[in-house]
């Protein structure tokens, strides 16, 4: 981990949030994993992440810096904002992987893919027909849509299981090819999720 000089006392030892010589709050790191004190990994222990979030929230709370210098006040605000974004991003396995892809230089992380995966063409076609019927007032289409929802939720579960295996493989090897595969699955997952949301919107009473 790179070190820098403390903005307050100038000593070259400020690697953590607070300088270990003068205890001044340092400019917060932008990297979500490092900020949380974690190695960049796709499989994270949710309980551990939450524990770190709460303890950092307390340490960085702007109320604790009421009487601090303007620099520390500013850093505590910045750090609190980063902390909240980091926690929100890292606690969800999908947004965590999207973040990792971005950090590893995959342009835009995941694309919002509107193209139908070829193996789903027929099902998506049937689904759109049923959606049209329901929108047109034909409630006979409801059972078909309910079945479609179950089917797509099942596909989403399959994607999630495959993702979990790839996360483990990537953490163990740091092989970029695994990230390429993960990106493909995240695109597929997003496509499926959009279908599920669309069906649920129409089925909502
Ligand atoms: Zn210092």
Query: Could you tell me the CATH number of the domain that includes residue 87?
Result: 1.10.287.110
Whether 17 maps to a domain, the answer reads: yes
Residue 96: closest CA among 149, 173, 29, 170 = 170
* Ligand 1 mean position, distance from CA 4 (Å): 10
How much is the CA Rg of the chain, to the nearest whole Å?
Answer: 23
The answer to whether the beta carbons of residues 83 and 25 sit under 8 Å apart is no
Do 87 and 138 belong to one domain?
A: no
Whether 53 maps to a domain, the answer reads: yes
* Ligand 1 mean position, distance from CA 57 (Å): 21
Q: What is the pTM of this model?
A: 0.86
* Ligand 1 mean position, distance from CA 7 (Å): 7
Domain holding 70, by residue range, is 1-91
Q: Enter the tokens of residue 147.
A: 């079945």
Average pLDDT, the chain: 91
Whether 101 maps to a domain, the answer reads: no
Do 7 and 87 belong to one domain?
A: yes
Do 122 and 198 belong to one domain?
A: yes
Give the Cα-Cα-Cα angle 85, 87, 91 (nearest 5 degrees). Answer: 125
CA-CA distance, 19 to 36, in Å (whole number)? 17
Domain count, the chain: 2
* Ligand 1 mean position, distance from CA 61 (Å): 20
Do 68 and 122 belong to one domain?
A: no
Please write the tens of the pLDDT for every residue from 88-112. 999 999 999 999 999 999 875 555 5
């Amino acid at each position: 981990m790179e070190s820098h000089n403390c903005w307050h006392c100038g000593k070259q030892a400020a690697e953590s949030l607070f300088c270990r010589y003068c205890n001044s709050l340092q400019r917060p790191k932008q990297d979500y994993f490092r900020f949380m004190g974690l190695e960049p990994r796709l499989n994270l222990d949710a309980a551990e992440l939450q524990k770190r979030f709460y303890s950092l929230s307390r340490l960085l709370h702007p109320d604790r810096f009421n009487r601090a210098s303007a620099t520390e006040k500013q850093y505590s605000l910045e750090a609190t904002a980063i902390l909240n974004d980091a926690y929100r991003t890292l606690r969800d396995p999908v947004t965590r992987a999207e973040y990792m892809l971005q950090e590893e230089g995959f342009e835009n992380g995941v694309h919002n893919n509107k193209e139908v995966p070829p193996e789903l063409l027929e099902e998506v076609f049937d689904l759109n027909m049923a959606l049209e019927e329901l929108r047109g007032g034909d409630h006979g289409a409801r059972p078909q849509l309910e079945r479609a929802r179950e089917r797509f939720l099942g596909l989403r579960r399959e994607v999630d299981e495959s993702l979990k295996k790839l996360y483990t493989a990537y953490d163990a090897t740091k092989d970029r090819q695994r990230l390429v595969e993960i990106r493909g699955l995240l695109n597929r997952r997003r496509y499926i999720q959009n279908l599920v949301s669309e069906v649920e919107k129409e089925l909502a009473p």
